[in-house]
Amino acid sequence: MLLLIASGLYFSVSRSILFTIFLSVMAFYLLSSGWATVIRREGKTERFELANCLFILLAGAFAIGIGLTETIRGAPLQDDVPSAAFFILAALAGLFGAYDVAVIRRGGCTGKHRIARHLWRMCLSLFIAVTIFFLGNNDVLPEVLRTPFFLTAPIVAVLALMVFWLVRVIFTNWYRTPSQ
């Protein structure tokens, strides 16, 4: 995943595509915060979580800045991406940052909520990467594979698997800590 995100960021920067740069940054944030959730002992947070929270909030502030710049100009900066798209990214960044603040104040996650946090963050990061590849860069695929079914099936599969595992972890007794 890290290599996929890094390559997406490289191609976005080399092509100067601002929107996918922000998507790559968001995917990296989700990957790193999901990873940090699962490697920490239950109920613990460290400086990394705080730095990651500040990182996504700063990215959200930049997205607001680009959205406002496009709105004031009255035209997209590039690639016909409307300012509303950057405002949506900024809102998501704000939500993720607010959730991080809550987890840091609580002192971390435990039990099924820890696993669920790890799952949705990793799956959402994969969703972003798969969507960028299959819908944003499908010109690298052979012509025969550029059908609507082939391009959307992996995206739907990632979302379906994320929902399946979240339901299984949160609403069943599948994941139980020894103290439960």
Tokens of 170: 């949160």
134: nearest Cα among 116, 118, 148: 148
At 124, is the pLDDT very low, low, confident or very high (cuts 50, 70, 90)? very high
Q: Tell me the C-alpha distance between 173 and 163, whole Å.
A: 16
Contact in structure between 117 and 34 (CB atoms under 8 Å): yes
**The model's pTM:** 0.83
What is the distance of C-alpha 5 from the center of its chain? 10
The predicted-structure confidence for 29-68, as pLDDT tens digits, reads as follows: 999 999 888 888 787 788 888 999 999 999 999 999 988 9
In this prediction, residues 142-158 reach a mean pLDDT of 88
Q: 157 pLDDT band (50/70/90 cuts)?
A: very high
Question: Mean pLDDT across the stretch 69-75?
Answer: 82
Other C-beta atoms lying within 10 Å of the C-beta of residue 169:
19
**Residue 107 clears pLDDT 70, i.e. is over it:** yes
Which element (helix H / strand E) includes 168?
Answer: helix 148-171
Q: What is the Rg, in whole angstroms, of the alpha carbon atoms belonging to the chain?
A: 18
CA–CA dist 152, 135 (Å, integer): 8
Contacts for 51-56 with beta carbons within 8 Å, 24 or more apart?
52/100, 53/97, 53/100, 53/101, 53/104, 55/29, 56/26, 56/29, 56/93, 56/96, 56/97, 56/100
- What are the backbone dihedrals phi and psi of residue 108, each rounded to the nearest 5 degrees, phi first? 110, 180
